Amino acid sequence: MLDIHYLLKYIATPAKAVREGLVSTLSPERTCQDLTLYQPNICICNLKDEIVLSDVELFLLAEFASAQISKSMMENSGGAQNMKCYLLLPVNYSHTSITTRKDGHYAVSMDIHFTSPSKSLETIFVTISYKPASHGSTTMTLLANERRSPYSPYRPCGDGPITESLCICQTGVTYSLNIADNWLTDVSRYSDTITHRESHQLNSCIYIVRYLIGGYGCSLYAVNICTEPTYHVIAYGLDNLKTITYSNIPVNGWYLVPKAIQFLTVLHSKSSPSFPNTSFMFRAKQS
């Protein structure tokens, strides 16, 4: 195993002391699982995958990772109301790799595919840390992401190096996530894994949008279709759903500014193919 990161850093600044293990043989006890998989660390090993996750679990991880990338783009664009890129909604995934780390988390790597306006597939590679649970909150963390497909056609949509390398948009057309009411009726997301899409109205402004995934999972989004005011959305009662796991719900909930779209969580049922309606487990009040 070669520490490429430290090798490149040494080549760039040769006056520094040589780090042990730079080009020498490393201890056979050291494996990829000992490395933090944040960019730009790279690890190439001959480890056999030991963990098998269901198609639904993998799609939920792809959904979570895509939402985190969209969140990063929104923040770098000054908010959803200023963003010209599409919300990243995966239609498929491939080339999955799963290993168990010493801390009990799974390191899941995959290519996630998205449909472009021209109907071609765009691909982003991600690595996710995943701590499964029998029910209740489970931990998911996006560790790394990298665009596989060319992004130069979408460069005009970007607002800097972060968004332009991840953006998918319709060239020559002004599009923004602030057209939230149009997104409510959007049925252009096609996938063999997504079986149903529905909207639940909390009040005159806030909707909960739910994608059913393979009968055993779903992803949830909140949409504020109004021009004012900001709403505070909170979740309640999810702990009462036995055998249901959910990802990373903030203790203080979410704040939806006007015309905003907010990813809430992904849910997974380990037992029932008939997923319960969880849209009503959210409340919204003016902030």
For the stretch 20-38, pLDDT in tens is: 555 555 555 555 555 555 4
* pLDDT tens-place string over residues 257-268: 888 889 999 999
CA distances in angstroms from 220 to 114, 174, 192, 210, listed in the order given? 18, 26, 18, 5
Lookup result for tokens 């201890």: 27
Task: Determine the average pLDDT of the residues in 7-14.
Answer: 67
Please give the structure tokens belonging to residue 200. 């639940």
DSSP 8-class letter at 274: S
Output the CA torsion 70→76→82→83 (10° steps): -30
Please give the structure tokens belonging to residue 195. 């079986």
Burial (Cβ within 10 Å: 0-12, 13-18, ≥19) of residue 152: exposed
Cβ neighbours of 65 (radius 10 Å): 27
Angle at 244 between CA 240 and CA 247, to 5 degrees: 105
Percent of residues in the chain assigned helix, strand, coil, to nearest 5: 20, 30, 50
Give the pLDDT of residue 51: 65
How many Å apart are CA 140 and CA 96, to the nearest integer?
A: 16
Burial (Cβ within 10 Å: 0-12, 13-18, ≥19) of residue 221: buried
DSSP 8-class letter at 172: T
* pLDDT tens-place string over residues 120-140: 889 999 999 998 887 788 999
How many Å apart are CA 78 and CA 198, to the nearest integer?
A: 29
Task: Determine the average pLDDT of the residues in 264-279.
Answer: 81
Q: Residue 129: name the closest of 271, 264, 263, 248 by CA.
A: 248
Give the pLDDT of residue 172: 65
* pLDDT tens-place string over residues 61-109: 999 999 999 888 888 777 666 677 888 889 899 999 998 887 888 999 9
